[in-house]
Amino acid sequence: MNTPSLPERGLHPARLARFAAAERERFIAHNPRSHALANRTARHWLMGAPLHWMNDWSTPFALHVAHARGAHVTDVDGNQRVDFCLGDTGAMFGHASPPVVAAVAAQMARGCTAMLPTEDAAWVGEELTRRFDLPYWQAALSASDANRFLLRWVRAATGRTRLVVFNGCYHGTVDDVFVDLVDGQARMRDSLLGQVHELTRHTTVVEFNDLAALEAALAAGDVACVLAEPVMTNIGMVLPDRGYWEAAQALIRAHGAMLILDETHTLSSGVGGYARGHALVPDALVLGKPIAGGVPCAVYGMSADLADRAAAAKRAAPPGHSGIGTTLSANMLGMAALRATLGEVATPAAHDRMNACCTQVAQGLREAIARHGLPWCVTQVGARCEFQFGALAPRNGSEAAALFDPALEHLVHLALLNRGVMITPFHNMLLASPVTSGDDVARLLAAFDQVLAGLLA
Ligand SMILES: Cc1ncc(COP(=O)(O)O)c(C=O)c1O
C-alpha cells in the first residue's frame, strides 16, 4: 500500500502550514508557566525532560502537570483538559482512582517493599486466575520487564530460541522484538541506540493476518513462541481477520511453539482481556500499565504446562541468578494497588461503561469525518479507538505504517490540546475510562469538529 499524498487525503500543504503556525502561537500564549518550567527542566534533564520521550508530544515545549484526576488533567497554567490519552493506558481506569489512592496510602504507611509477599499476594493470585483463566503468575515492574522475563521462561522451558513477532509490533523495550520487515526482509530497527547484538539471529518477523507467512516461520520447528498483541495497537490499530487467531493458534500448537499474548493495551477490551472475550487460549499472558491503577506494576500468567516446564528448567539449572526479576518486582505497594484495582476499580461494570463511552466516541469521530468528507477510518476495540488517515482499515503493520503522517498527526494533536482535549501523542489513539462522562465526549467531539474545519479552512 502506497502512502497517500496530502491532496489525496483532501488536504493542502499551504493551508495546513497556516493552521499549524496559528496553533503553535496559541499554545505558547496559553501555557506560560509550562514554558518557564520546561526551560528550567531542560537545564538538568538529558534532552530536556526526565524521559526523553516526553519531547515526542506535538507541543512546542512539554506541558507540566499540576494534577490528574478521573478523566481530567490540569496543567500548571490551570488549563483543564479531558484526557483520552490516559498516560497511553497506564491511567486507563481513571487518574487517582479513590480506592487505589486509599490502598496505596495505607500500604505506604505499612511499608513499601521487603522482598516478601503480603496477604494481598494470595488474593491477587486467586483473582488473576479467576479473571484470566491461567493458573500461575509472576509480577514485574513494567510490561516491558514482564515480556522480557516471559521470553526467558519460555525459551528455558522449550529449549528453543527463536521468537516470532508481527511486523510493526511493540512490546515495550524488549530488544528481541525490534525487528522489522523491510522490502520483505527482516531488519533490526536502525533507530535502536547502543544495540550490539544482531537481533535477526533469533527473531523472525511476519505480517499480521498472513497465515501462510506464520506457517512458514514455524516450519523449521525451532520457534519457542509467538509474541503478539491479539489486536495490534502500536502501529495504529489493526484488527485480526475473522478466524485468524483460531487458525494461528492451531498452527502454533501444531509446531510445538507457544503463544504469548501481550494484553497490556487490549485489556481495554473487557474484564478478562481480549483473549477471554474471544475464547483464545494463550500459553501465557502479559498485563501491564493500568493493572495496578497506574502504580508501576505488571503481571504475567502461565498455563499449567508452561509453568511445569519453566519450574523444571529452573530446578535443572545451576544455582544462581535466573536473569528474571528485579529487586522491587512484586513489592508490597504494587500488590496493594493491584488488589484495589482488580477488586474495586476494573470491575465488569467499569468495563461496560468504558466500552459504551468509547462506542459513542468512535461513532462521533466517524460522523465528523464523514461531515468533512475526509477519507479516514475509525477502528474500535472495547474502550480503545483510533482514527487513521486512510479510507480502509489496514490489515497488517505495513499497511498501517503507510497511513502514518507524523506532521498531520502532530497538528491534529496540538489543535486538540489547544481546545481542551488530550489524545495519545503516538498515532491517533483514544481511550475511554470508566469515569469519562457524556460531557467529556461532547467536548472531544466539538473540538475534533473544529480541528477538522481548521485543517480544511
Ligand atoms: C502492547 C504493549 N506491551 C508492552 C508495553 C510496554 O509497557 P511499559 O512501557 O509500561 O513497559 C507497551 C507500551 O506501550 C505496549 O503497548
pLDDT tens for 26-45 read: 999 999 999 999 999 999 99
* Ligand 1 center from residue 261 Cα (angstroms): 12
Average pLDDT, the chain: 97
Query: Ligand 1 within 6 A of 149 CB?
Result: no
What is the rounded distance in angstroms from the CA atom of residue 411 to the CA atom of residue 15? 12
Instruction: Measure the CA–CA gap between 175 and 189, rounded to whole angstroms.
Output: 10
- The pLDDT confidence band at residue 290, using thresholds 50, 70 and 90, is very high
- Residue 296 CB–ligand 1 contact under 6 Å: no
CB atoms within 10 A of CB 4: 16
| 429 vs 265: CA distance, rounded Å | 11
| 97 CB near ligand 1 (under 6 Å) | no
Could you report the per-residue pLDDT of 141-183, keeping only the tens digit for each?
999 999 999 999 999 999 999 999 999 999 999 999 999 999 9
Distance 197 CA to ligand 1 centre (A): 22
Q: Which helix (H) or strand (E) holds 442?
A: helix 438-456
Which protein residue's CA is at the shortest distance from atom 3 of ligand 1? 171
The answer to whether 429 touches 92, Cβ cutoff 8 Å, is no
- pLDDT score of 97: 98
Is the Cβ–Cβ distance between 258 and 225 less than 8 Å? yes
Q: Is the shortest distance between the CB of 171 and ligand 1 below 6 Å?
A: yes
Which residue of 176, 274, 289 sits with most ligand 1 atoms within 8 Å of its CB, as the best mutation to test the pocket?
Answer: 289
Nearest to 252 by CA among 225, 216, 290: 225
Centre of ligand 1 from the C-alpha of residue 113, in Å? 24
Q: Cα(169)–Cα(157) distance, rounded to whole angstroms?
A: 24
Which residue lies with its CA nearest to atom 6 of ligand 1? 172
For residue 330, what is its C-alpha cell?
512484586
Percent of the chain with pLDDT over 90: 96
Give CA–CA dist 211/430, Å, rounded: 29
pLDDT (0 to 100) of residue 87: 97
Residue 90 alpha carbon, nearest atom of ligand 1: 10
7 pLDDT higher than 90: no
Ligand 1, closest atom to CA 88? 14
Distance 229 CA to ligand 1 centre (A): 10
Choose which residue among 92, 144, 145 to substitute to test ligand 1 binding: the one with the highest number of ligand atoms within 8 A of its C-beta: 144
Supply the pLDDT for residue 2: 61
pLDDT, residue 6, reads 77
Residue ranges in 118-265 assigned as alpha helix (H): 119-132, 143-158, 211-218, 244-254
| Nearest protein CA to atom 13 of ligand 1, as residue | 172
Residue of 165, 174, 265 best suited for mutating to test ligand 1, as the one with most atoms within 8 Å of CB: 265
Residue 246, pLDDT score = 98
Whether 142 lines ligand 1, by a CB cut-off of 6 Å, is yes
Helix extents (H) in 372-393: none
What is the spatial distance between Cα 224 and Cα 134, in angstroms, rounded to a whole number?
19
Region 372-377 average pLDDT = 96
Q: Say if ligand 1 is within 6 A of residue 170 CB.
A: yes
Residue range 327-340: average pLDDT? 98
Distance (Å) of CA 49 to CA 289, 340, 409, 440:
21, 31, 22, 29
Q: How far apart are CA 285 and CA 173, in angstroms?
A: 17
Closest C-alpha residue for ligand 1 atom 5: 172
Q: How far is the CA of 21 from the centre of ligand 1 (A)?
A: 33
Task: Using the atom order of ligand 1, give the atom closest to the CA of residue 229.
Answer: 1
pLDDT at 393: 97
Mean pLDDT, residues 226-246 taken together: 98
Ligand 1 atom at shortest distance from the alpha carbon of 146:
11
